[in-house]
Amino acid sequence: MITTAVTITVNGEAYSTEVESRKLLCDFIREDLRLTGTHVGCEQGVCGTCTVLLDGQPVRSCLLFAAQLEGACVETIESLATDNEHLHPVQRGFWEKHGLQCGFCTPGMVLTAKALLEENPDPTDEQIRTAIAGNICRCTGYVFIVEAIQAAARELRERGEAVDA
């Protein structure tokens, strides 16, 4: 087995480890770090289920090797809330508006939405649809996801939180 030494920061914690060089980032997150909130839907880089944030931007973790991410900062769904009482506004929006059904695409969808709202705090429905076009949801038909993201955007704006672009 060929391995590579890397240091990757995941959800604020730095991991220095020898990782099999061909190991996908999604497998590293799920198997080595046991953060199973990141799901894998196609391993072909299309469905967006495995989306994580890499230095703040949504990426498909099935298209990256862990070994190529020396010094990178990764955020997964587990970074957003430590318990049910302190959900991120995007998570709360999805809950309030029934923006999820089976829950499998949800972590990737939530992270994509979070990244969108950090860039564009007041998106139109069309902008939301474009932003999430790379995240396939097979259950919801997207209607309530769009409403959920709008609700989150409203809450974030009302809070007047500083937005880090």
Partner 1 sequence: MPDKAGQPKLFGARVKRVEDPRFLTGRGRYVDDFVRPGMLHVAFVRSTEAHADVLSVDVSGARAMEGVHAVISGEDLAHVKPITCNSTYPSWQPTKFHALARDRVRFVGEAVAAVVADDRYLAEDATELVQVAYRPLEPIASVTAAIREGAPRLHDGWEDNFFVKRHVKIGEPDRVFEEAHGVLELDLITHRSTGIPMENRGVIAEYDPADEVLTVWTSTQIPHLVRTGLADFLGVPEHRIRVIGPDVGGGFGIKGHLFPEEIVLAALAMQVQRPVKWIEDRREHLLACIHAREHDHHLQVAYQPDGEVVGLRARIYVDCGAYSVYPWTSTMDTGMALGILPGPYRIRHYECEAYSVTTNKCPLGPYRGVSRPQACLSIERAMDEVARALGMDPLDVRRRNVLQVHDYPYESVTGLVYDSASVAESLEKVLELCDWGELQRRKQAARAEGRYFGVGFGHYIEQTAHATQEFIKRGVPIIFGYESANVRMDPSGKVLVHVSTHSHGQGHETTYAQVVADELALPLEDVRIVFGDTSSTPYGHGTFASRSAVLAGGAAIQAAGRVRDLLISFAAKELEANPNDLELADGHVAVKGSPDKRVAIAQLARWTYWRPERLPDGMEPRLEAVASYDAPPGTGTFANAAHVALVEVDPDTGGVKTLGYWVVEDCGHMINPLVVEGQVHGGVAQGIGGALLEELVYDENAQLMTTTFLDYRLPGATDIPHIAVGHLSTPSPFTVSGIKGMGEGGAIGPGPAIAAAVQDALKPIGDVFVNELPLTPERVRRFVRIAEESAGDRT
**Closer to partner 1 at the Cβ: 38 or 61?**
38
Among positions 18, 55, 70, 125, the unique one binding partner 1 when judged by CB under 8 A: 125
Answer whether 92's CB lies under 8 Å from 155's CB: yes
Number of residues that bind partner 1 (CB under 8 A): 59
Q: Identify which of residues 9 and 127 has a Cβ nearer to partner 1 in the complex.
A: 127
SS (H, E, C) 15-75: EEEEEECCCEHHHHHHHHCCCCCCCCCCCCCCCCCCEEEECCEEEECCCCEHHHCCCCEEE
Residue with smaller CB distance to partner 1, 36 or 68 = 36
CB count in 10 Å sphere of residue 139: 14
Residue 144, interface with partner 1 (CB under 8 A)?
yes
| DSSP assignment letter at 142 | T
Footprint on this chain of partner 1 (rule: CB under 8 A): 20, 22-23, 30, 34-44, 46-47, 49, 76-78, 80-81, 83-84, 87, 91, 94-96, 98, 100-107, 110, 125, 128-130, 132-146
